Amino acid sequence: MTRLIVAAGGGGDAVAAAMLDAALYGDEDRAVILTYAWDRLLIDPVPGPRGADNFTGLIQLTPAVRTVPATARPIAPAGSALPRLAAELPHTFALIDPHDGVEGITRQLEELVRHLSPTSIDLLDVGGDILARGDEPTLKSPLADALTLAACCQVNAPVRLLVAGPGLDGELPVDDLRPLLGTLVHTFMPENAERISPVLEWHPSEATAMLAATARGVRGVCEVRDAGLPVPLTDEGPTVHEVDLDEALSRNQLARATMATTSLVEAERHCREICGHSEIDYEREKAARLGCPILTEFDPQTVLAQVAEFEAEALSRGATHTTFRHITEALHLNGTQRDELRQLLISRSPDQYAAPLWRVAAGT
């Protein structure tokens, strides 16, 4: 008996899929999680998603689908969190390769469904930007979700669309999402978050970090991303809702426009036309900006002084929490220094560690 979960946007959605699978089914046979290798620049310095050609050691499951075992490795300079996820989580991770557009993803899904004969197929999105129209000013990363939505709507099998942590990705306001949410499927509890706690010690996903934090009872306002976007942490944070798949497709202009695409380049062109931007363009621009990190050495006293200044400013903006990714970027540290920063702060002020977030406080 196999379950299939499609992580709509990859990255943190795959981690959330593992948490949801354990919460709903316990220690039964683990689901196969189909996900992108599309990581933050803190992990992968190369913009955009990785394809099968960017790895060594993948295992061919079907003609178009490869799984990512713990022994797989991304080919430099690319990076990927998937091999480490495979090492630390008891699930099978299969790779979405979007370079042949939605037609390619649909083919991968259809092959996987024929091979696995899954008892259920869930399309999981953390935050809810999969429900975007495409013209929302706060929408930052619509492409990955639109491609998986378009593919799932074309596969010849029933697919259930689930939105976890409505609003936690900072893309769409929860007030806009609330009328679209259907049946409450699950509310995550602290024990559910414990399942993925070791992963969130190192994984840079902010939305899934906030999902786990709200499951543990953390409430307030969390600053995320390089721009310090404020995201409310409320009782709605740890919830998972079913959403009508056809309604999502009718809303999502980009998903409809990309349904017949045969390349990622073509899909990205639609994204620019409909949404006014492409997240891969943003990653390209950001990668160019981060090419020369401002700090080349990690001096604890300098960093602590900068953190104190950062926290004072965050408090003045009404923030109660932040992510280690946001602090890393606010201090202009590079991705390799994120773990060093995290260890320094937790060792100095352990009471401010609201796992996996950081509680900002005056006088740190």
What is the pLDDT averaged over residues 202-223? 97
Residue 280 lies in a domain: no
Does residue 134 sit in the same domain as residue 253? yes
Residue 57 lies in a domain: yes
- Residue 331 domain boundaries: 300-359
Does residue 214 sit in the same domain as residue 100? yes
Instruction: Quote the CA–CA distance of 271 and 265 in Å, as a whole number.
Output: 10
Instruction: Quote the CA–CA distance of 167 and 190 in Å, as a whole number.
Output: 20
Instruction: Quote the CA–CA distance of 274 and 143 in Å, as a whole number.
Output: 11
Per DSSP, the three-state class of 95 is strand
Residue 55 lies in a domain: yes
Does residue 304 sit in the same domain as residue 232? no
Last residue of a domain, which of 239, 257, 275? 257
Residue 286 lies in a domain: no
Integer distance in angstroms from the first to the last C-alpha of the chain? 51
Does residue 52 sit in the same domain as residue 182? yes
Q: Is the pLDDT of residue 98 over 90?
A: yes
Does residue 245 sit in the same domain as residue 312? no
Residue 266 lies in a domain: no
Instruction: Quote the CA–CA distance of 209 and 183 in Å, as a whole number.
Output: 24
Instruction: Quote the CA–CA distance of 252 and 169 in Å, as a whole number.
Output: 17
pLDDT in tens, 50-91: 999 999 999 999 999 999 999 999 999 999 999 999 999 999
Residue 203 lies in a domain: yes
pLDDT, residue 141, reads 92
What is the pLDDT averaged over residues 98-105? 98
Last residue of a domain, which of 226, 257, 288? 257
**32 token code pair:** 């196969």
Residue 215 lies in a domain: yes
Triad 50, 81, 16: Cα angle to 5°? 105
What is the pLDDT averaged over residues 181-207? 96
pLDDT in tens, 143-188: 999 999 999 999 999 999 999 999 999 999 999 999 999 999 999 9
Cross-strand partners of 125: 163
The set of residues, in sequence order, having a beta carbon less than 8 Å from that of 68 and lying 6+ positions away, is 37, 55, 58, 80, 82, 83, 85, 86, 93, 94, 95
* Overall number of domains in the chain: 2
In this structure, the chain runs to a length of: 364
Last residue of a domain, which of 257, 283, 316? 257
Does residue 245 sit in the same domain as residue 317? no
Kindly report the average pLDDT of the chain as a whole number.
94
pLDDT, residue 288, reads 85
Instruction: Quote the CA–CA distance of 360 and 222 in Å, as a whole number.
Output: 9
Please give the helix or strand (H or E) that residue 354 lies within, else none: strand 353-354
- Percentage of the chain beyond pLDDT 90 is 88
Q: Is the pLDDT of residue 339 over 50?
A: yes
Type of residue found at 308: A
Does residue 22 sit in the same domain as residue 170? yes
Per DSSP, the three-state class of 178 is helix
pLDDT in tens, 230-288: 999 999 999 999 999 999 999 999 999 999 999 999 999 999 999 999 999 999 998 88
What is the pLDDT averaged over residues 186-213? 96
Residue 275 lies in a domain: no
Does residue 239 sit in the same domain as residue 101? yes
Does residue 29 sit in the same domain as residue 82? yes
- How far is residue 167 from each of residues 123, 230, 236, measured CA to CA in Å? 17, 11, 9
Does residue 94 sit in the same domain as residue 205? yes
Does residue 253 sit in the same domain as residue 308? no
pLDDT, residue 295, reads 46
